[in-house]
Amino acid sequence: MDFGTQVRSARQNKRMTMAELSQVVANNYHIKINQGVISRIEHNYNVSNNQLFAVADYLNIDLNRTTAYFRSGFRFRSR
């Protein structure tokens, strides 16, 4: 499962909208993030590491597993 799908699945399991997730992450991690960034993450587009790690941490996504996925050749899409 790619990272974006993991994020979407974890968000939906928490019954959160993208806007709700971005608000909680922004408040808890003191970073700039909005619904558009969550959408970019879920669609595997580039975002800042701070945003990516904060979302993964909040949703309890195992970054060790994710890192292995990136090493296997996965690349985020650019615009």
Q: What is the CATH number of domain 3-71?
A: 1.10.260.40
Domain-wise residue ranges, the chain: 3-71
- Whether 70 shows a pLDDT value over 90: the answer reads no
Tens-place pLDDT, residues 41-62:
999 888 898 999 999 999 999 8
| pTM higher than the cut 0.95 | no
Tens-place pLDDT, residues 16-38:
999 999 999 999 999 999 999 99
Partners of 45 in beta bridges: 77
The token duo for 4 is: 């974006």
Contact 27, 57 (CB under 8 A): no
Contact 38, 4 (CB under 8 A): no
